């Protein structure tokens, strides 16, 4: 395989965890005799500082040419001027839209040994293993915006096609998991949610009669995610609800630093990033948890490069590192960022050498 992978380190701790992503990709290449073409480009605040644009034309062109894109993080207090015409986050939003990445996948799976560091009771979270599928290019984040001294508005729009494609993706994922989809909306108030409820019901009834389907209001979902999270299998929802609920769900596993994500479109090209932000308070100190980024690399091997076994090996390597107590500060350990990545790469080599099975 000769895949082209583009790294976008971004801001804050982004460059620190992206370095570890590259080391993991290089380790996989060496173990399996693969050849990857790896390049870097600017995005976010770093791009604003150098080019005046959070998504330079050169970066977008290189993203289009790549088989997969790895992103660190964007933003930080340096660029937090609310009156700024361009902000780092706009680079990420534009990238998702330009690449047609309409679905964000965020798996939430609890490692048993981390149950004690979660703020929730262990008995409530022991069996958590869910996937959130968030629509990524519609809704209020991309609607026309108006702001005056006394009023503001954000257009909130969805089309049938936008809803159908992400619901189909979620239902297909459910077929490979436990066969259950929960669609989350606010249909008692929002017209867009009523369209979501109508279209998703039609899709599920016509094309996925074998998949159990339910709807839930977003306020009830926010409660159940912390009170009874194991009731969920695959969640599908609109852009803003998905953004908020996945950050809420991150507390189930003890740290946002543990969770990966994949943003996908119609083809195999994808954008892979940990769900955490740029964490400027710890940037440059070697304290960032790299596991979410390394797990994102695993998702890249599965969804963009079609190497499911490699993805499983990476997941198991992270699992074994955590089980062995090789952890960063945020999850009860004392390893630095590079040391935690070292542990994962070492376990990956052991898994390949000893042919350890994934459980």
User: Which residues are known catalytic residues?
Assistant: 141, 186, 219, 243, 247
> Among 114, 25, 112, 103, which residue's Cα sits nearest to residue 298?
25
Identify the burial level of 269 via C-beta atoms within 10 angstroms of its C-beta, where 0-12 means exposed, 13-18 middle and 19 or more buried: buried
Using CA atoms, how far apart are residues 299 and 303, in angstroms rounded to an integer?
Answer: 6
- H helices of 234-307, in order, are 239-249, 291-303
Determine how β-strand 103-109 pairs with β-strand 212-217.
Answer: unpaired
**Residues counted in the chain:** 359
- H helices of 73-131, in order, are 88-98, 122-125
Using CA atoms, how far apart are residues 109 and 125, in angstroms rounded to an integer?
Answer: 9
Inter-residue contact 141 to 239 (CB < 8 Å) = yes
Inter-residue contact 226 to 169 (CB < 8 Å) = no
Q: Would you list the DSSP string of 202-226?
A: HHHHHH-TTSEEEEEEHHHHHHHHH
> Among 95, 187, 171, which residue's Cα sits nearest to residue 133?
171
Tokens of 36: 């990857």
Tokens of 287: 């304290």
* Buried/exposed code over 236-255 (b: 16+ C-beta within 10 A; e: otherwise): bbbbbbbbebbeebbbbbbb
Place of tokens 């083809």: 267
């Amino acid at each position: 395989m000769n895949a082209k992978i583009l790294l976008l380190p971004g801001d804050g701790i982004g460059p620190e965890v992206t370095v570890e992503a590259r080391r993991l990709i290089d380790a996989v290449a060496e173990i399996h005799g693969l050849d990857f073409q790896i390049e870097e480009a600017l995005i976010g605040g770093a791009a604003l500082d150098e080019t005046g644009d959070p998504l330079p034309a050169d970066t977008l062109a290189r993203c289009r040419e790549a088989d997969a894109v790895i992103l660190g993080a964007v933003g930080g207090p340096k660029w937090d001027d609310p009156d700024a015409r361009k902000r780092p986050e706009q680079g990420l939003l534009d990238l998702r839209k330009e690449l047609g990445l309409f679905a964000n996948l965020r798996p939430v799976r609890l490692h048993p040994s981390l149950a004690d560091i979660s703020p929730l009771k262990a008995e409530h979270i022991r069996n958590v293993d869910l996937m959130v599928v968030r629509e990524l290019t519609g809704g209020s984040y991309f609607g026309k915006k108006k702001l005056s001294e006394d009023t503001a508005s954000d257009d909130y729009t969805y089309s049938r096609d936008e809803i159908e494609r992400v619901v189909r993706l979620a239902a297909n994922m459910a077929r490979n998991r436990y066969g259950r989809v929960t669609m989350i909306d606010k249909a008692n108030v929002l017209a867009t949610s009523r369209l979501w409820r109508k279209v998703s019901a039609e899709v599920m009834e016509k094309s996925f009669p074998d998949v159990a389907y339910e709807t839930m209001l977003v306020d009830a979902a926010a409660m159940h995610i912390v009170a009874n999270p194991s009731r969920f299998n695959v969640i599908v929802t609109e852009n803003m609800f998905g953004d908020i609920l996945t950050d809420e769900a991150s507390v189930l596993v003890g740290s946002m630093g543990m969770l990966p994500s994949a943003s996908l479109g119609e083809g195999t090209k994808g954008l892979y990033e940990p769900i955490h932000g740029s964490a400027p308070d710890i940037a440059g100190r070697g304290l960032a948890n790299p596991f979410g980024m390394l797990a994102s690399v695993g998702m890249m091997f599965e969804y963009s490069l079609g190497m499911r076994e490699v993805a499983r090996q990476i997941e198991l390597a992270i699992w074994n590192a955590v089980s062995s107590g090789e952890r960063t500060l945020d999850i009860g350990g004392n390893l630095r960022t590079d040391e935690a990545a070292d542990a994962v790469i070492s376990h990956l080599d052991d898994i390949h050498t000893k042919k350890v099975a994934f459980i």
